Amino acid sequence: MKNSSVTLKTILILLCLSAGYIVHAQTSPPCAFQSLFTFEPGMNKMVVMDSINKTYKLKVVSRKTENVKSTTDGNPIVKEVVAYTIDGSACFKGHNSKLQLEFADDKLYKAYLSTVYSKSTYSELISNFNSLRSSIKPHWEFENGIKLSGKNTTGFGYMYARTKKTPILEQVTLQYTDYNTNDANGSYILEVVWANVTNTRMKGSASAKF
């Protein structure tokens, strides 16, 4: 897996095995990198959304559009976030699993997926986290541990890249976060984020930091 198009295919496969696909297959496939998806970085928004609708039967639950100023030419970038819910994922075994895609000027550059675990199921969270790490790590040469901390917030995870040269325009993040450490009955959010701004004007925008 040496190019960006393969990366996005595998990230989306890893995270988007939805109930519709599993039902038709009659068995739950393992969470693994496979060459089944056809998305590429910079792919047109309508093509991506049509493919998700036809292949995975996911429905849009929210859409948000905003203008982001480009620091390269000063012109606005139209950024749109499209969110879906996912049921029965082979890769995310918590509840309230979501897929979020981000587009810049109608070009795909980011995929964000998450699932929720209650604090009483911490061992299941760690098992899912380790499984995802085992699926991602072999395809990315550089792995750096990250710790999240803030007011009433803690978390842990890894950031992945294929190069140490800056700027890093493609990256994957795997992490779990507790956004309310004072609530013993609260939840953890387990998430994976893939981003590639190579073919978009987002690489000149402050909001392109990932």
What digits encode the pLDDT tens for the residues 151-201?
Answer: 889 999 999 988 887 777 888 899 999 999 989 889 999 998 888 887 778
Domain hosting 52: range is: 4-208
pLDDT band at 2 (very low <50, low <70, confident <90, very high): very low
Q: How many independent structural domains does the chain possess?
A: 1
* Closest to 45 measured CA to CA, from 109, 113, 112, 98: 109
- Measure the CA–CA gap between 54 and 187, rounded to whole angstroms: 32
The Cα angle at residue 54 between residues 62 and 67, in degrees rounded to 5:
35
Distance separating alpha carbons of residues 101 and 111, to the nearest angstrom: 5
Which pLDDT score, from 0 to 100, does residue 39 have?
61
User: What does the pLDDT look like over 29-88, one tens digit per residue?
Assistant: 456 544 333 467 788 899 888 888 887 778 889 999 999 887 677 789 999 999 998 876
Q: What is the DSSP letter of 98?
A: E
